[in-house]
Structure 1
Amino acid sequence: MSTTPVPPRSPRRRSPVAALSSLALVLALGSSLTSACAPAATKPDTEGPTTTPPAPAQPAEPVAVPGSFADNPIVYFVVTDRFLNGNPGNDNSYGRRKDGGEEIGTFHGGDLAGLTAKLEEGYFRDLGVNGIWITAPYEQIRGWVVGGDKEFQHYAYHGYYALDFTVLDQNMGTESELRAFVDAAHAQGIRVIFDIVMNHPGYADLWTLNEFGIDVLWDGWEKATPADYHSYIDYNDFDFTQWWGGDWVRSGLPGYDEGSSWDDLTKQLAFLPDFKTESDQAVKLPAFLTRKPDTHARAHDGYTVRAYLVEWLTRWVREFGVDGFRCDTAKHVDLASWAALKAAGVQALAAWKREHPDRAVDDAPFWMTGEVFPHGVQRDDFYDQGGFDNLINFDFQNQLDEMFQTGLGKDWRRIDTIYADYASKISSDPTFNVLTYISSHDTKLFNRRKLIPAGTALLLAPGGVQIFYGDESARPAGPVPSSDPQQATRSDMNWGSVDAAVLAHWQTLGRFRSRHVAVAKGAHQMLAERPYTFSRIHPEDRVVAAIGATGEVTLPVGEAFVDGARVRDAVTGTELTVTGGRVTVVADASGVVLLEAVRADH
């Protein structure tokens, strides 16, 4: 989450198979022209039987064992507002405006319709993606708050400042557009993952306070700037109780408890109001929601804060078929609340699938990952008591960055210590997995000059992987506020300047990974140091990969493939036969070789 208060597709690289097909066509045309210029043959006296020429050999199809989504998640994380504007008519919802400056924290126009357009184009399918994690699309606070150190107007374009969890934010689109997006994703076997927050709602911004008649504003508030914003709010006025109310959140305002200064579960993260999810006290609906005509929030006797939030969030699962959640600021919410959300999500998705069997990807259960900063690759109570299937791995980005700074590109065997460590933990536990990334909206973008080798390292890592939008296209960083540099990671998608070579590489690696659960959950073994070669062997699947290969190389395959086995290099399309436990192949310019079995019926 944010911690400050505050075009056309590029052409794909032509494959060797396509090049061979073109050469065959040229030779065939040449043969036809030569025949046309040659003397006519003498027609035999008797018509003999005609012979049909053999059909050209078809490229071998790889054996695909993708595994379950939980075992092999390949999740594309997109800040929806910064991706693609599919419906300009919703750009200025609720009176939101541009700031006339660098537009660091304003809404930029990306929406659900834009995501659907790219789905229909095949953009995500070409990347091998099987899940799309979108920023929370439900309604956010109406206006802006102070960004950074009074540097910019900070709107909730990222979805972390919720106002009403039960309706869509109009900048994101309509319910029919959400259904179209979910259906388009499911039709391609892609799951939809919502970013959600149970730790906090959004700040009390000027426009929301005015909209709902919470009488704490001084005259002239409409003229506020980041420099004088807070001077227009009377922070001593008890009318703040007409907002969420002291039974719901800690905020330090009149009529509210203060948040803790030390306890993760009760602190006000970045001064945000903190939900009392751990409380067993029954609460009424917040006062402002009772005056909000479009809300789906309904009062229930005996409901706690947790019960309401669980009901509101799982409504998206019950009614739209959302497949899972990425849970923000998870360490700041009690485990019992996460377990309740997971249980309700499982029930809600199962019910939706029973009612819409033709619109579901499969019968897999609801899935949940979470942000527990700075969690690495280890199993703990978030899995065993909180119900999480997966947690984000914060270690890999810095590990990989440090390795590149000390010569990884010249000695890839050094990454084996990471791969071996991850695989030993992930492959041995069928219910344990992580989501590894190289760029994030909350940390930094990976070195844009290293995206081909970094993409290789990420997409061959054990466990699940997260592709941050634009890593596959070399999206440049945006403006960098000195007091909130993470804003630079959320620049607009670079549809007009996609790096075709980077995209083609990520597509090749992503599709290979999508075919092979062994990459994610297989037992790992290094087979050679130069070029760095390893196998991953799963009970149902096996692959061999090499990184740093140049020219013609002979690679060991270990126990992955027996002598006589037919395999192909997924990068070049070259078909090979294993001889003496090895194959010889000419490596692509990327230096990556990806060996997979081919189907026996070809």
Structure 2
Amino acid sequence: MTTTIKTISTFATSLLAGVLLSACHPAETVSSAPAVAQEKTRANASDLPHYLTRDIQDEIFYFVMPDRFYNGDESNDNGSTTEPLSAGGFDPTHKGYYHGGDLNGLQQKLPYLKELGITSIWMTPIMRNQAVQANSAGYHGYWILDFTEIDPHLGSNAELKAFIDAAHKENIKIFFDIITNHTADVIKYPACHGEDGLQWLMEQGSDCPYKTIAETEAGQGYQAIIPKGQENVKTPAWLNDPKYYHNQGDSFWEGESAVYGDFSGLDDVNTDDPFVVKGMTDIFKNVISEFKPDGFRIDTVKHVNMEFWQEFAPALVEHAKSEGIPQFFMFGEVYDPSSAFLSQFTTVGKMQSVLDFGFQSAAQQALVDQKGTNVLAELFANDKDYLDEDSSADQLVTFVGNHDMGRFAHMLQTSAHNYSESEQAQRTLLAHALMYFSRGIPVIYYGAEQGFVGEGGDQASRQDMMPSKVKSYNDNYLLATDKTTADDNFDTSHSFYKTFADFADVYIKNHALRYGKTETLYAQDSAGMFAFSRTSEQQNIVVVLNTATTEQKVELDVNAKAITSLYQSENSQQNAQLQQNKLAVTLPALSIAVYQID
């Protein structure tokens, strides 16, 4: 007997619908008509447990650069009025300078984020920065001078607390981006920067060559100096002493230089020193005590010795518990796609989780490079690498693009496959659907929900959500809209925004999508079908997606009497049939379906 599935939810936005096309590009065509919009009440952070007791596997992250989001207070645009090194750097026409976004602006946009389905906001570093170095500014937050004060371009300590309180009232968590590897570039070497240390580099455009441990111990290292007038610019005070830094010149990202070298000139902290370990631990214990964030994302983790993490990470989690934050959670940035390399930081390094660069790589291979869906099967097969007594792949933090490597849509735009704009839209949404419905904790990189594309990584991927004045941003098209970044881009009617909100609705309402164990059911060595199950004590779900450009079919062995559709890319209810414990699924090109197995 053949049983047709029953549908409990129909979503307004189709991955293949014409609504995905930008109105300013009428030449594009699609094979199906847009679905009729139907207003519905979607689940959001208020439908989850209280933020203090909520497990990390309930979260949906929004990764945002506050300076590029929304300017809620123009009076702080030029930064400090008392600290010269943290003043200025404001030029909204330049992609490498401050643009005016701040904590007040984030607070004003909390309703926009909550409606999107966001449950946690992760901000790039917000501590007081050196405002300008060379020909760029510290708008991104990674050039910290003071670990006790909020960067005045973004607001005050009191405004940060007000923002966190406002988010918590909406049951939304706040995560800080923190740095232990380095501070702002203050320490100089006469051999590279002149006797007074005031030259950026004696040979413009060059690095300060790395000196090995052996060279340094043999007396062939650098003399470290601090330029006159900058002897006490860092807080806490111990950070001003060069003896607490490696002082070995610039890293070239290989061998020992990856740990002991300066990260693009930034002062590399000597995290081998027990005094430094305690000092850094105390810094962030104080941050937890004062501001009560819900967790940390930790920058440049692989550039710090493993012994540091073994002591630092557990100490902060325990301190947070003592401060009444029982679910405090930390995940590190380890820029490497290998599960064997990534997992050592959660197993040996005692960190709770890491950003899943392996997932990003597999999604890019499958949906940008058109490799077989077996790359996804291999990703999940390697999840065993993360398993130990207190961590697993289920708590990896997944993403498809970020502020360093660039946006997923840009990877599609520059692909050798020469994708049309409509296909860029389809593939971008399919990548995010995979992120939401597979294991791990999903992260939206700000602007993705408005079709942002960008022109590359780093500064080229850090566009403004508020109306931008940067020419190189504003001459880019955005997906599924006729707007550019010169417009205000907080459009809750954008098809991407609506689709992401639908993904969040399904994610929040279905326990197995957050807690279910993953098993691959089908993969192939070419673009096409991929299927996997998510199974928890409460629910069994099967996810099927098609990465090919033509309709595909697959037959899966399932033990079921009935199946329920939780999400489908198209409104058709006839794309799956259950017969003799086999689930036959037919999917159009670049689409996904989610079923509950009853």
Same fold (TM over 0.5): yes
Matches of 1:336 and 1:371, distance apart in 2 = 16
The 5 Å alignment of 1:430-509 reads 431-433=391-393, 434-448=396-410, 449=424, 450-477=427-454, 486-493=458-465, 494=485, 496-497=488-489, 500-509=494-503
Cα drift, residue 442 of structure 1: 1.5
**Superposed CA RMSD:** 4.4
Is the 2:89–2:98 contact (alpha carbons within 8 Å) kept by the matching residues of 1?
A: yes
Residue matched to 2:593 = 593
Residue matched to 1:133 = 122
Q: 1:459 to 1:277 in 2, by over 3 A?
A: same
Cα drift, residue 268 of structure 1: 1.5
Letter in 2 for 1:144: V
Residue matched to 1:76 = 62
Q: 1:175 to 1:578 in 2, by over 3 A?
A: farther
Residue matched to 1:38 = none
Matching of residue 377 in structure 1 with residue 346 in structure 2: no
Matching of residue 525 in structure 1 with residue 525 in structure 2: no
Deviations 1:106-161 (A, max 9, x none): 11111112222222x1x3334433322111111111x31124xxxxxx11111110
The 5 Å alignment of 1:357-372 reads 363-364=326-327, 366-372=328-334
Matches of 2:597 and 2:171, distance apart in 1 = 23
The 5 Å alignment of 1:245-284 reads 245-250=240-245, 252=247, 262-280=256-274
Cα drift, residue 556 of structure 1: 6.2
Deviations 1:243-290 (A, max 9, x none): 5444554375xxxx767884433222212111122213xxxxxxxxxx
Q: TM-score, normalised by structure 1?
A: 0.66
Is the 1:525–1:536 contact (alpha carbons within 8 Å) kept by the matching residues of 2?
A: no
The 5 Å alignment of 1:140-159 reads 140-141=129-130, 143-147=131-135, 154-159=136-141
Matches of 2:285 and 2:506, distance apart in 1 = 33
Matches of 2:449 and 2:351, distance apart in 1 = 28
Letter in 2 for 1:310: T
Q: 1:263 to 1:583 in 2, by over 3 A?
A: closer
DSSP-derived class of the 1:369 partner: strand
Matching of residue 115 in structure 1 with residue 106 in structure 2: yes
Cα drift, residue 594 of structure 1: 1.7
The 5 Å alignment of 1:34-49 reads none
DSSP-derived class of the 1:270 partner: coil
Matches of 1:182 and 1:314, distance apart in 2 = 17
The 5 Å alignment of 1:153-232 reads 154-204=136-186
Is the 1:133–1:326 contact (alpha carbons within 8 Å) kept by the matching residues of 2?
A: yes
DSSP-derived class of the 2:140 partner: coil
DSSP-derived class of the 2:183 partner: coil
Residue matched to 2:36 = none
Residue matched to 2:310 = 339
Deviations 1:335-375 (A, max 9, x none): 3332333233223322332xxxxxx7xx42x2111112225
Cα drift, residue 195 of structure 1: 0.6
Is the 1:136–1:194 contact (alpha carbons within 8 Å) kept by the matching residues of 2?
A: yes
DSSP-derived class of the 2:364 partner: helix
Is the 1:368–1:389 contact (alpha carbons within 8 Å) kept by the matching residues of 2?
A: yes
Aligned pair count?
472
Query: Of the candidates 320, 344, 362, which is equivalent to residue 349 of structure 1?
Result: 320
Letter in 2 for 1:275: V
DSSP-derived class of the 2:377 partner: helix
Letter in 1 for 2:534: R
Is the 1:65–1:517 contact (alpha carbons within 8 Å) kept by the matching residues of 2?
A: no
Is the 2:362–2:375 contact (alpha carbons within 8 Å) kept by the matching residues of 1?
A: no
Cα drift, residue 384 of structure 1: 3.1
Deviations 1:536-561 (A, max 9, x none): 223343211222399999986744x7
Deviations 1:506-538 (A, max 9, x none): 222233233445345513132587754432223
Cα drift, residue 199 of structure 1: 1.0
User: Unaligned stretches of 5+ in structure 2?
Assistant: 1-8, 14-39, 82-86, 189-194, 209-223, 234-238, 411-423, 466-484
DSSP-derived class of the 2:450 partner: coil
Is the 2:167–2:174 contact (alpha carbons within 8 Å) kept by the matching residues of 1?
A: yes
DSSP-derived class of the 1:395 partner: helix
Query: Of the candidates 381, 398, 407, which is equivalent to residue 421 of structure 1?
Result: 381
Matches of 1:594 and 1:456, distance apart in 2 = 10
Q: 1:174 to 1:582 in 2, by over 3 A?
A: farther
Matches of 1:269 and 1:245, distance apart in 2 = 18
Q: 1:570 to 1:87 in 2, by over 3 A?
A: farther
DSSP-derived class of the 1:511 partner: helix
Q: 1:491 to 1:511 in 2, by over 3 A?
A: same
Residue matched to 2:285 = 314
Matches of 2:197 and 2:380, distance apart in 1 = 58
DSSP-derived class of the 1:165 partner: strand
Q: 1:428 to 1:537 in 2, by over 3 A?
A: farther
Cα drift, residue 327 of structure 1: 1.0
Cα drift, residue 402 of structure 1: 3.3
Letter in 2 for 1:447: A
Matches of 1:469 and 1:249, distance apart in 2 = 36
Deviations 1:23-67 (A, max 9, x none): xxxxxxxxxxxxxxxxxxxxxxxxxxxxxxxxxxx99999x9999
Matching of residue 547 in structure 1 with residue 545 in structure 2: yes
Is the 1:128–1:513 contact (alpha carbons within 8 Å) kept by the matching residues of 2?
A: no
Matching of residue 105 in structure 1 with residue 96 in structure 2: yes
Query: Of the candidates 384, 391, 395, which is equivalent to residue 358 of structure 2?
Result: 395
Matches of 1:75 and 1:345, distance apart in 2 = 21
Q: 1:347 to 1:502 in 2, by over 3 A?
A: same
Is the 1:251–1:259 contact (alpha carbons within 8 Å) kept by the matching residues of 2?
A: no
Q: 1:384 to 1:589 in 2, by over 3 A?
A: closer
Matches of 2:504 and 2:488, distance apart in 1 = 22
Matches of 1:398 and 1:522, distance apart in 2 = 21
Q: 1:536 to 1:93 in 2, by over 3 A?
A: same
Residue matched to 1:3 = none
Matches of 1:236 and 1:565, distance apart in 2 = 68
Letter in 1 for 2:98: F
Letter in 2 for 1:347: E
Matches of 2:564 and 2:249, distance apart in 1 = 67
Q: 1:185 to 1:468 in 2, by over 3 A?
A: same
Deviations 1:191-217 (A, max 9, x none): 2211101111112399xxxxxxxx969
Q: 1:93 to 1:534 in 2, by over 3 A?
A: same
Cα drift, residue 178 of structure 1: 1.7
DSSP-derived class of the 1:265 partner: helix
Q: 1:554 to 1:275 in 2, by over 3 A?
A: closer
Is the 2:68–2:464 contact (alpha carbons within 8 Å) kept by the matching residues of 1?
A: yes
Matches of 2:172 and 2:298, distance apart in 1 = 19
